[in-house]
C-alpha cells in the first residue's frame, strides 16, 4: 500500500463519551503495530456538520475510512459530504464501532486491537491507486453559452477544447457591440487577438434566441426547448450577457457603437474627429481599447485630425500600452483634462474647451466633424430579463458579496449558471473550463438537512430520547405528551434513533420552509423559554 | 496509465494554486522554491479591510496556505533551485535540482517556539501554519541548536543535487518590485520616512503602522512603471488598487490624516475597484503630477517637489511619510530562466506561455497580476497543462 494513501477519521462527537481517550488508545495501538506510516489518523466530529467539509477537504485524493459512533453511518450521511469535499473519486468505507450490535468497547480491554484490525481489513479492500482522470461526465457535459457577444464568443472559444458539445445562444443585439465591430477593422488597428477569438467562437453552433420556447431547470441541469419541438438538455449555462451602449443624448454626437457602424459603412470621411471620453461616465479599460482602435484607424487610413479627451488613460490591460503607443505615434492627440470640461452645444455644433492637465494649456476643439461620446454600458434587455427570471445578480458587473473568489467567474449565484462579468478580464474566461469541470465532478450533490422526526403514533411516551439527546433538542410536548424535536437544536446525530425502544424516531430530510413553520408553531405555543 | 509528473517552479500564490489543482487531478507535482517557506512575496502582505472587506485578496493566500501541505503526489522542495534543464527524447524533460539542506527538520520540529527568541540575529522566522525556517542573516552561532528539545536544527550547509524526469514544466516565478533606490530622485534608502509599498505592506502585516506620528502622507504612484526613462514602459496594473486600499485603511484607522496622491492615471483594473474608487475618491487629494524629486529637509522629513498642475509653478510640500507605489517588474533572474528553459519573453521581460513545448507560465511572471487573478490564472493554466498531458 502506498504511504498514507488511507486516512482514518475518528468521530469524537458528544454522543461518544471519552472519545479523546479512546482515539488515543487506538492511535497507540497503531503505533504498536508499526502501521502509523501507512495510515493517517484524524479526528473529527460528525455533529459539527459544517466543519466536516473542511476536515475532509484536507484529505483530497485519499481513501477515507470513517469510524463512526452511531447511526449516521446507516443513513449514508457522509456520502454527499465526502463527494463534495474530498476528491470525488476517493473511495471511503465506514466502520461502525459503537451503537447497536457493533459495540467494540464492550467487554475486555482488547478493543483497540479489534478496531485496528477492522480498520486494517477495510483499508486492504480499498483500491491501492487512485486513478483520477479529468474526464467530463457525459451525462450533462453540454454547455450553453448565453450570449453571442464578444464575451460569449471568447468564453466559448476558451471552453471549446474541454467541452466539445457547446452551443451559443444568439441574442438579437449580439453582433452589434463596439467590441465586435472593432474586430472587423484591419489587424494592425485591432485589440490583440480579438479577431482570432471572435473567428474561433463563430465556428461553434449557434441557436437563435427567437427559436427558443423555454428554458427550464431539470434534475441534472437545464432543458431548452425550441419552437420546432426539439428538446436539448444542458448541464450548465454560461451567462455572458451582451452589453448595449446607451444612446447618446447630445445632438450631433455618436455613441461609440453608432460611430463604429458609421465607420464600417465605408462612407468617405474627412476633417476632425473628436472622442470625448470620461464625460458623465468613467472610461473603462476595455472601452478604451475600442476608442484607440477607431482613432488609430481614422488617423492612419482617413488622414483625419483625431483628438481624444479623457481623464485617465487606461492601460492596465495587457497589450493596451502597445496599442496606445502606436496610436500616439501615428499622431492621435490625447488631451487629459481636469475635472471640469466645457462642452458647448449651441445650435447643434459642438465646442469643447478643456485644460490640458499636463501642459496646463487650454485646448479648444470647435465644431468637430465627428464627435464620439462613449456612453454607459448596459446589459441587453433580453439578457436582463433572463437574469431576472433566474434570480441572478441584477447589478451590472458587480461581484456577488459572498462569492468564492477561487471559483473564478464572479457571481455564481444559481447552481449551474455561471455568469461572466462584463469586463475584459481574461482570467475570468480562461478559468471557466476549470470551474465548469470542478462543478461537474461534484456531480451536483447538494447538502441535505437531516433532522430527527418523532412518529406520534408509535411514541410510547417513555421520554428515553429526551434523556439521551446530547443537545437537549428533544422535549416533551406539553399538550399531547409526545416527544417533540426542536429543529434548530437537533444536529441529526442519531442517538435518539438508536435508543428509542419503540423505534418511533427517524432521521429525515428537512426542507427549510417546514423548519421555519415548526419554529413558528413552537413559538406560538410559548414553549421555548 | 503511468503517472504524469509536472515540475512547478515557485511556491508563491500561483505556484501553490497550480500545484494543488494539478495534484487534485491525479498528476504528480514537484514544487520548487528558492525560499525556505511557502507563500512567496504575498506571504508578507497585510489585510487592508476596514469595516468591510475591500477584496485585496491577501486572505485568499492565507486560506490557500492553510490547505497547503506536502502530500504523496505533491513534493515540496524548499531552498531549491533549478540547475539544469534538458528536453529528452520522449518529449519530457530532465531536470537537475540543487537543494540546500533543510536546516530545521520539519519532521522533528513541533513548533515549540523556543528557538526564535534566543536567536541574536532574529533569523528564525515563521509563516503561519508552517514550521520555522532560518533565513540568510544566520551567523551559525548555534544558540538555537542548544535550545531545541528535539534536536531538529542542524547548521550544515552542503547542498545536494537531485535529478528527475518530468513531463511538463510550469514557471510560477512571480515578479520583483521595482527598487527605487537606483534613482536618487525618489530619495529612497537614506530617509526612513520614504518607504515603498512593500514596506507599507510589512507594516500592515505586522500591525505595526506608527499611526500617532503621521499626520500627512504622500503616495507617489507609477514608481518604476510607465516610465520610459527607467526602461519600464508597462503599466503595473496593481499599484493603483493597492495604494488606494492602503490609504483607505490608514484613513480609517487614523481619521484626519491628510493623504495626497501624486499620479498620472488611475487604472480601473477590476469591476470591484471601479466602484471602490468611486466611493473613496473624495477622501483624498489627487494631484496629477509626478514629483520632480524627494529630498530631506533639515529635520529629516521628506520634502516633495513637484509642478503644481493648476498654477504651473514648482511647489515643495513637507510630509511625514512618503509611500512609493513601486511597480512590478520581471524577476531579476527572469532572463537566465528564459535562457535555461527556452520560454519566450515579451517586450517588457515577462514570460509568454508556449504550450506546445510543455513549458507553461502562470501568475505574475506573465505580467502584473493581483492575487485573485493569479488564482484564476492558475486554474486556467492547470487546464492547459492537463490537456497537454492528456494529448501526449
B-chain CB neighbours of A434 within 8 Å are: 21, 379-380, 382-383
A134 in a structural domain: no
Strand partners, A402: none
Q: Is the pLDDT reported for residue A46 higher than 80?
A: no
In our burial notation (b when 16+ CB lie closer than 10 A, e otherwise), range A50-85 reads eebeebbebbbbbbbbbbbbbbbbbeebbebbbbbb
A135: in domain: no
CA–CA dist B237, B243 (Å, integer): 11
Return the top range by mean pLDDT from A10-19, A123-132, A153-162, B18-27: B18-27
Strands (E), B124-273: 124-125, 133-134, 160-166, 168-171, 175-177, 194-196, 216-223, 258-262
Tell me: the pLDDT tens digits for B92-103?
Answer: 899 999 988 878
Share of chain B above pLDDT 70, in %: 98
The pLDDT tens digits for A14-37 are 666 666 777 777 777 877 777 666
Residue with the bigger pLDDT between B81 and A158: it is: B81
CA distance A257 to A247: 9
Q: How far is B174 from chain A (nearest CA, A)?
A: 16
Q: What is the ipTM of this complex?
A: 0.85
Q: Select from B346, B376, B375, B380 the least CA-distant residue to B360.
A: B380
Q: Does A21 touch chain B (CB under 8 A)?
A: no
Contact between A423 and B271 using a beta-carbon 8 Å cutoff: yes
Dihedral angle over CA of B33, B35, B37, B42, nearest 10 = -90
Tally of domains within chain A = 4
Domain boundary among A372, A389, A404: A372
Distances (CA, A) of A72 to A95, A438, A451, B334: 11, 27, 11, 55
Would you tell me which residues 196-225 of chain A have a C-beta closer than 8 angstroms to some C-beta of chain B? none
Q: Cell numbers 457602424 label which residue?
A: A261
Average pLDDT for A37-48:
69
Where residue A91 sits, what CATH number does that domain have? 3.40.50
A314-328, B146-160, B296-310: the lowest-pLDDT one = B146-160
Strand order across the B80-87 sheet: B80-87, B93-99, B160-166
Residues 47-66 of A with CB under 8 A from B: 57-58, 60-61
* Rounded CA separation B36/B235 (Å): 31
Q: Where are the beta strands (DSSP E) in B241-384?
A: 258-262, 285-287, 293-296, 302-307, 314-318, 321-326, 328-330, 344-345, 351-352, 359-361
Distances, alpha carbon A294 to alpha carbons A183, A186, A304, B267, B384, in Å:
10, 11, 12, 21, 34
Whether residues A285 and A344 share a domain: the answer is yes
Instruction: Confirm or reject contact between A126 and chain B (CB < 8 A).
Output: no
What are B99-117's pLDDT values in tens digits? 888 788 877 787 777 888 8
Instruction: Give which of A261, A286, A242, A257 is closest to A149, Cα–Cα.
Output: A242
Q: What does the pLDDT average to over B35-59?
A: 86
Domain at B5-100+159-174+331-391: CATH architecture: 3-Layer(bba) Sandwich (3.50)
Residues A50 and A196 in one domain: no
- pLDDT top residue among A449 and A355: A355
Q: What is the pLDDT of residue B223?
A: 92
Task: List B residues 37-56 in contact with A (Cβ-Cβ < 8 A).
Answer: 55
Task: Kindly state whether residues A114 and A15 are assigned to the same domain.
Answer: yes
Q: Is residue A115 part of a domain?
A: yes
Q: B212 at the A interface (CB within 8 A)?
A: no
- pLDDT band at residue B197, thresholds of 50, 70 and 90? very high
Domains in chain B: boundaries: 5-100+159-174+331-391, 177-328
One domain, residues A331 and A227: no
**Grid cell for residue B259:** 493623504
Give me the CATH number covering residue A187. 3.50.50.60
Work out the minimum CA distance from A174 to partner chain B, whole angstroms: 22
What pLDDT, on a 0 to 100 scale, did the predictor assign at position A26? 77
Which residues are CB-contacts of A203 (< 8 A; sequence separation ≥ 6)? Answer: none
Share of chain A above pLDDT 90, in %: 5
Return the number of other C-beta atoms located less than 10 Å from residue A137's C-beta. 14
Shared fold status for B5-100+159-174+331-391 and B177-328:
yes
CA-based nearest residue to A153, from A210, A196, A214, A212: A196
**Rounded distance, CA A56 to CA A53, Å?**
5
Asked if residue A342 and residue A197 are part of one domain, the reply reads no
Q: What's the pLDDT band for A292 if we cut at 50, 70, 90?
A: very high
pLDDT at A393 over 70: no
Residue B95 neighbours by CB distance under 10 Å: 21
Q: Which domain holds residue A237?
A: 143-244+377-441
| Chain segment B256-271, per-residue pLDDT in tens | 999 999 998 899 887 7
Q: Which of A166, A176, A172, A192 is nearest to A286 (CA)?
A: A192
Quickly state the pLDDT bin for A329 (edges 50, 70, 90).
very high
Mean pLDDT for B134-159 is 83
> Chain B contacts of A6, Cβ < 8 Å?
none
CATH number corresponding to B177-328: 3.50.50.60
What is the model's pLDDT at position A139? 52
- Give the model's pLDDT for residue A526: 45
Do A399 and A432 lie in a common domain? Answer: yes
Say whether A357 and B25 touch across the interface (CB within 8 A). no
User: Looking at the DSSP assignment, which residues form a beta bridge with residue A218?
Assistant: A221
Per-residue pLDDT of A87-124, as tens digits, reads 555 566 777 666 555 566 665 667 777 777 777 777 77
Residue B172 has pLDDT above 90, yes or no: yes
Distance from CA of A86 to the nearest CA of B (A): 9
Amino acid at each position: 500500500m502506498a504511504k498514507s494513501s488511507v486516512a482514518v477519521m475518528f468521530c469524537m462527537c458528544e454522543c461518544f463519551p471519552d472519545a479523546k481517550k479512546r482515539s488515543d488508545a487506538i492511535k497507540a495501538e497503531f503505533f504498536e503495530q508499526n502501521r502509523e506510516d501507512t495510515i493517517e489518523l484524524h479526528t473529527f466530529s460528525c455533529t459539527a456538520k459544517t466543519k466536516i467539509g473542511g476536515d475532509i477537504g484536507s484529505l483530497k485524493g485519499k481513501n477515507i475510512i470513517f469510524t463512526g459512533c452511531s447511526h449516521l453511518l446507516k443513513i449514508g450521511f457522509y456520502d454527499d459530504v465526502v463527494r463534495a469535499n474530498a476528491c470525488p473519486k476517493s473511495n471511503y468505507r465506514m466502520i461502525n464501532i459503537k451503537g447497536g450490535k457493533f459495540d467494540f468497547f464492550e467487554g475486555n480491554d482488547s478493543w483497540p486491537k479489534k478496531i485496528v484490525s477492522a480498520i486494517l481489513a477495510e483499508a486492504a479492500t480499498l483500491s491501492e491507486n487512485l486513478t483520477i482522470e479529468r474526464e467530463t461526465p457525459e451525462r450533462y457535459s453540454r454547455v450553453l453559452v448565453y450570449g453571442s457577444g464578444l464575451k460569449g464568443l471568447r468564453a466559448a472559444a476558451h471552453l471549446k477544447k474541454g467541452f466539445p458539445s457547446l452551443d451559443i445562444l444568439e441574442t438579437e443585439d449580439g453582433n452589434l457591440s463596439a467590441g465586435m465591430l472593432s474586430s472587423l477593422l484591419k489587424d494592425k488597428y485591432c485589440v490583440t487577438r480579438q479577431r482570432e477569438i471572435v473567428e474561433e467562437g463563430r465556428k461553434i453552433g449557434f441557436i437563435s434566441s427567437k427559436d427558443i420556447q423555454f428554458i427550464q431547470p431539470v434534475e441534472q441541469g437545464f432543458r431548452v426547448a425550441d419552437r420546432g419541438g426539439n428538446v436539448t438538455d444542458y448541464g450548465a449555462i454560461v451567462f455572458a450577457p451582451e452589453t448595449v451602449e446607451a444612446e447618446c443624448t447630445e445632438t450631433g454626437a455618436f455613441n461609440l457603437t453608432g460611430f463604429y457602424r458609421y465607420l464600417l459603412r465605408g462612407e468617405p470621411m474627412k476633417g476632425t474627429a473628436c472622442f470625448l471620453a470620461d464625460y458623465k461616465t468613467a472610461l473603462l479599460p476595455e472601452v478604451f481599447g475600442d476608442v484607440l482602435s477607431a482613432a488609430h484607424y481614422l488617423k492612419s487610413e482617413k488622414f483625419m485630425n483625431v483628438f481624444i479627451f479623457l481623464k485617465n488613460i487606461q492601460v492596465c490591460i495587457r497589450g493596451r500600452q502597445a496599442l496606445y503607443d502606436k496610436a500616439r505615434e501615428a499622431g492621435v492627440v490625447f488631451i487629459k483634462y481636469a475635472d471640469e470640461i466645457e462642452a458647448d452645444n449651441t445650435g447643434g455644433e459642438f465646442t469643447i474647451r478643456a485644460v490640458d492637465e499636463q501642459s496646463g494649456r487650454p485646448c479648444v476643439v470647435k465644431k468637430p466633424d465627428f464627435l464620439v461620446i462613449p456612453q454607459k454600458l448596459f446589459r441587453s434587455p433580453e439578457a436582463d430579463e433572463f437574469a431576472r427570471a433566474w434570480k441572478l445578480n441584477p447589478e451590472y458587473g458587480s461581484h456577488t458579496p459572498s462569492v468564492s473568489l477561487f471559483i473564478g467567474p464572479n457571481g455564481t449565484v444559481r447552481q449551474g449558471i455561471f455568469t461572466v462579468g462584463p469586463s475584459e478580464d481574461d482570467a475570468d474566461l480562461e478559468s471557466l473550463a476549470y470551474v465548469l469541470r470542478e462543478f461537474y465532478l461534484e456531480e451536483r450533490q447538494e447538502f441535505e438537512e437531516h433532522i430527527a422526526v418523532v412518529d406520534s403514533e408509535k411514541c410510547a411516551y417513555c421520554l428515553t430520547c429526551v434523556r439521551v439527546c446530547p443537545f437537549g433538542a428533544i422535549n416533551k410536548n406539553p399538550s399531547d405528551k409526545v416527544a417533540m424535536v426542536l429543529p434548530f437544536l437537533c444536529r441529526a446525530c442519531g442517538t435518539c434513533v438508536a435508543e428509542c425502544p419503540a423505534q418511533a424516531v427517524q432521521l429525515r430530510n428537512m426542507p427549510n420552509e417546514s423548519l421555519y413553520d415548526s419554529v413558528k408553531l413552537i413559538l406560538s405555543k410559548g414553549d421555548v423559554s | 496509465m503511468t503517472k504524469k509528473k509536472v515540475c512547478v517552479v515557485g511556491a508563491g500564490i500561483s505556484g501553490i494554486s497550480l500545484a494543488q489543482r494539478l495534484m487534485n487531478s491525479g498528476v504528480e507535482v514537484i514544487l520548487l522554491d528558492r525560499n525556505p517557506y511557502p507563500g512567496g512575496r504575498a506571504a508578507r502582505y497585510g489585510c487592508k479591510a476596514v469595516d468591510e472587506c475591500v477584496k485585496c485578496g491577501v486572505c485568499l493566500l492565507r486560506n490557500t496556505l492553510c490547505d497547503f501541505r506536502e502530500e504523496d503526489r505533491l513534493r515540496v522542495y524548499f531552498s531549491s533551485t533549478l540547475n539544469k534543464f534538458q528536453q529528452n527524447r520522449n518529449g519530457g524533460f530532465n531536470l537537475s535540482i540543487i537543494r540546500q539542506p533543510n536546516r530545521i527538520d520539519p519532521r522533528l520540529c513541533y513548533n515549540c517556539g523556543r528557538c526564535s527568541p534566543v536567536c541574536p540575529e532574529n533569523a528564525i522566522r515563521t509563516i503561519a501554519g508552517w514550521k520555522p525556517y532560518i533565513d540568510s542573516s544566520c551567523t551559525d552561532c548555534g544558540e538555537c541548536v542548544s535550545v531545541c528539545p528535539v534536536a531538529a536544527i542542524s547548521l550544515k550547509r552542503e547542498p545536494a543535487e537531485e535529478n528527475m524526469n518530468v513531463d511538463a514544466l510550469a514557471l510560477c516565478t512571480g515578479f520583483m518590485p521595482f527598487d527605487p533606490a537606483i534613482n536618487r530622485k525618489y530619495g529612497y534608502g537614506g530617509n526612513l520616512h520614504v518607504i515603498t509599498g512593500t514596506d507599507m505592506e510589512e507594516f500592515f502585516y505586522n500591525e505595526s503602522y506608527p499611526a500617532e506620528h503621521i499626520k500627512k502622507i504622500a503616495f507617489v504612484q507609477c514608481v518604476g512603471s510607465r516610465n520610459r526613462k527607467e526602461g519600464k514602459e508597462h503599466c503595473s496594473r496593481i499599484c493603483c488598487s493597492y495604494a488606494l486600499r492602503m490609504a483607505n485603511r490608514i484613513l480609517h484607522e487614523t481619521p484626519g490624516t491628510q493623504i495626497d496622491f501624486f499620479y498620472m492615471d488611475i487604472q480601473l483594473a477590476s469591476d470591484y475597484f471601479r466602484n471602490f474608487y468611486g466611493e473613496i475618491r473624495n477622501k483624498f487629494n489627487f494631484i496629477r503630477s509626478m514629483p520632480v524629486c524627494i529630498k530631506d529637509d533639515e529635520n529629516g522629513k521628506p520634502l516633495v517637489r513637484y509642478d503644481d498642475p493648476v498654477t504651473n509653478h514648482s511647489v515643495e510640500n513637507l510630509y511625514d511619510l512618503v509611500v512609493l507605489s513601486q511597480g512590478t517588474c520581471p524577476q531579476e533572474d527572469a532572463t537566465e530562466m528564459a535562457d535555461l528553459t527556452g520560454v519566450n519573453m515579451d517586450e517588457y521581460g515577462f514570460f509568454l506561455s508556449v504550450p506546445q513545448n510543455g513549458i507553461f507560465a502562470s501568475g505574475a511572471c506573465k505580467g502584473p497580476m493581483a492575487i485573485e487573478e493569479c488564482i484564476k490564472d492558475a486554474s486556467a493554466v492547470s487546464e492547459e497543462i492537463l490537456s497537454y498531458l492528456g494529448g501526449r
